[in-house]
């Protein structure tokens, strides 16, 4: 199997950053900061008004994307 040098460079570059899955993030509705689920309040502003970020992208397990009228989209 041939591995190209540019592919290795790209994988090293991506690994250097912080990666957090959307299912593990919350969005503060007051200051719009994102933080890892598990905190009772937003670490940035101490607000208790937050929501799982995945909810905004319809990534809740078992649900499909829904059109504005509530009809299911996709397969």
- Name the residue with higher pLDDT: 12 or 32: 32
Q: Is 50 exceeded by the pLDDT of residue 58?
A: yes
- Spatial separation of the C-alpha atoms in residues 30 and 48, rounded to whole Å: 9
> Is pLDDT above 50 for 49?
yes
Q: How far apart are CA 5 and CA 51, in angstroms?
A: 41
Q: What is the pLDDT of residue 21?
A: 85
What pLDDT, in 10s, does the model give residues 15-37?
Answer: 566 777 888 999 999 999 999 99
Residue 13 pLDDT level (bands cut at 50, 70, 90): low
Mean pLDDT of the chain: 74
């Amino acid at each position: 199997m041939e591995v190209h040098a540019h592919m290795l460079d790209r994988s090293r570059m991506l690994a250097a950053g912080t990666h957090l899955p959307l299912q593990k993030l919350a969005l503060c509705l007051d200051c719009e900061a994102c933080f890892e689920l598990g905190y009772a309040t937003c670490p940035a502003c101490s607000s208790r008004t937050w929501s799982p970020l995945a909810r905004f992208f319809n990534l809740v397990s078992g649900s499909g994307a829904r059109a504005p009228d509530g009809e299911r989209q996709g397969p």
